Structure formats: C-alpha cells, structure tokens
Amino acid sequence: MYSAERCRAQLAECRNLLPLAQGKAEATLLTTLIRSWKMIANQMDRYEVIMIENKRVISDEEEHPLGIVPLAVVLPKPLKK
C-alpha cells in the first residue's frame, strides 16, 4: 500500500508536468490527478491515525502472530435499540 509520503511524491510529479502539458485535455487530466493524489495522501494520513488508535485499543488483547487484528476489535459495536 502506498504511504502518504509516496502519494505526495506522485502529486509533486504531476505538478511538475502540468506546465509541460501539450493541450487542454492533458492539463485537465494532470489537474485531476493532482487533486486525486492530494485526497489520497490526506486519507492515508487519517488511516494511519486510525490504525495507531486501534493499536492502542488492542494493545491489551493478544495479537495474532502475523499481526492480524480480529474483526471484532476493529468493527464498531452495534447500536442498542
């Protein structure tokens, strides 16, 4: 899986290519990629925070030898009616 840092590197590459675009379609595509890479990088940052928080929650639980977290620990508990 890509890290937020890797996504930002892709974002920077697209930004560098944008002035070299040889037409409106290419510029539009690069602009869309820039926006997408930025959103993905931000989502990866949030994902990392969530995983760190989940790690704190399961730190008292016995972990699987391969680092697999049981779904019961990760999934939210159902709402009481």
Residue 81 has pLDDT above 70, yes or no: no
In a domain, 45, yes or no: yes
In a domain, 75, yes or no: no
CA 45, CA 22: separation in Å to the nearest integer? Answer: 33
pLDDT, mean of residues 38-56? 88
pLDDT, mean of residues 16-36? 96
- pLDDT over 90 for what percent of the chain? 52
Closest by CA position to 5, among listed 50, 55, 44: 44
* Contacts of residue 8, Cβ cutoff 8 Å, sequence gap at least 6: 37, 38, 41
Rounded mean pLDDT of the chain? Answer: 80
In a domain, 81, yes or no: no
Indicate yes or no: pTM above 0.85. no
- Give the count of domains, the chain: 1
pLDDT, mean of residues 34-63? 81
Domain containing 15: what range? 4-70
